[in-house]
Amino acid sequence: MSATLSPARSAPGPSPDAAPLIRMAGVGKTYHAAGGATVRALDGVDLDIADGAFVSVVGPSGCGKSTLLRMLAGLDRCEEGSLRLGGRDVRGPSGEVGVVFQAANLLPWMTVRENIRLPLRVGGRHAPAEARIDALLEVTGLADFGARYPYELSGGMQQRAGICRALVRDPRILLMDEPFGALDALTRERMNAELQRIWQTSGKTVLLITHSISEAIFLADQVVVMSPRPGRVLRVLEVPIPRPRSFDSIVSHPAYAGLAREIRALLTEPGDAP
Ligand SMILES: Nc1ncnc2c1ncn2[C@@H]1O[C@H](COP(=O)(O)OP(=O)(O)OP(=O)(O)O)[C@@H](O)[C@H]1O
Ligand SMILES: [Mg+2]
């Protein structure tokens, strides 16, 4: 794991004085189903995320986390409130934003390398692609698997290929929706450590949705806890644990147990949706 994806920074993490890279203000979302039924998914979401921060989002199932991520990725329109990236309203998908979904969604008829190259073809950029793909395969431990097909990979390896694909255009922002939910516990810990390393060496801003409290704390500068539907930001908790972190060291850190308890208590608060 020695490859560097972009210039390393000496002090990972957000600079306290910088303007937020991501700004959500009063973001709401109501889905209108056929027959006139409505679902209020999000309500008045206010959240600032600093450039270079790693932010985890936890919240009950159905509270609008994926909805929020899709809007940030420009895949759904933000029709209520404002959603700004780098000072500009989100108007559609952008090369500045990479997305990792819960399922890797690799195209089965393409090799790993071809799958990773896909966003470059879609975006019409070709030039330094192969060297970049090599670096990504190296950093995610897939260097020997670029010519293989998805069915020849384990679930964790496919998910890593999905992460490579999200990173191939060197996005400034990485949005991840429960990327490790389907993995066994040990692979998941290994992937968390890899993600921490990628984040520390690349200077990206990461927003990770997860149902795992330990994963949320392990990776993040801040953990955002959302309410049950309609999703609102209940609390933003700082994680004052130095990096690099390991799972062994983090659970014995004095701040860990209190944070985990607080998140769990917030997650069990009742909501106001049916
Ligand atoms: N396309 C859609 N049409 C109608 N309702 C939708 C649509 N997408 C999501 N919803 C509803 O909006 C609410 C929020 O869904 P969303 O997928 O954002 O939740 P989530 O927090 O990601 O949940 P989970 O943790 O289970 O993934 C849910 O009640 C869901 O049924
Ligand atoms: Mg979801």
pLDDT tens, residue by residue, 137-196: 988 889 999 999 999 998 888 988 998 999 888 899 999 999 888 778 887 888 888 889
Q: How far is the CA of 105 from the centre of ligand 1 (A)?
A: 19
What is the spatial distance between Cα 82 and Cα 64, in angstroms, rounded to a whole number?
16
Are 84 and 179 in the same domain? Answer: yes
Which residue, 153, 170, 187, sits at the end of a domain?
A: 170
Enclosing domain of residue 44:
20-96+171-267
For ligand 1, atom 24: residue with the closest CA: 61
Are 85 and 119 in the same domain? Answer: no
Query: Which residues, at least 6 apart from 145, have a Cβ–Cβ distance to it below 8 Å?
Result: 112, 137, 152, 153, 157, 161
Number of domains comprising the chain: 2
Are 92 and 127 in the same domain? Answer: no
In this structure, of 58-62, 177-181, 229-233, the range with the lowest mean pLDDT score is 177-181
> Which atom of ligand 1 is nearest the CA belonging to 63?
21
Are 52 and 77 in the same domain? Answer: yes
Are 110 and 246 in the same domain? Answer: no
Residue 239 · residue 223 · CB < 8 Å? yes
In a domain, 86, yes or no: yes
Query: Which residues, at least 6 apart from 270, have a Cβ–Cβ distance to it below 8 Å?
Result: 228
Are 113 and 213 in the same domain? Answer: no
Residue 52 above 70 pLDDT? yes
For tokens 């000496």, the residue is 10
Task: List residues near ligand 1 (CB under 6 A).
Answer: 31, 33, 39, 41, 59, 61-67, 229
Are 68 and 197 in the same domain? Answer: yes
Which residue, 170, 190, 209, sits at the end of a domain?
A: 170
Are 147 and 211 in the same domain? Answer: no
Are 67 and 182 in the same domain? Answer: yes
Question: Residue 10 has what pLDDT?
Answer: 40
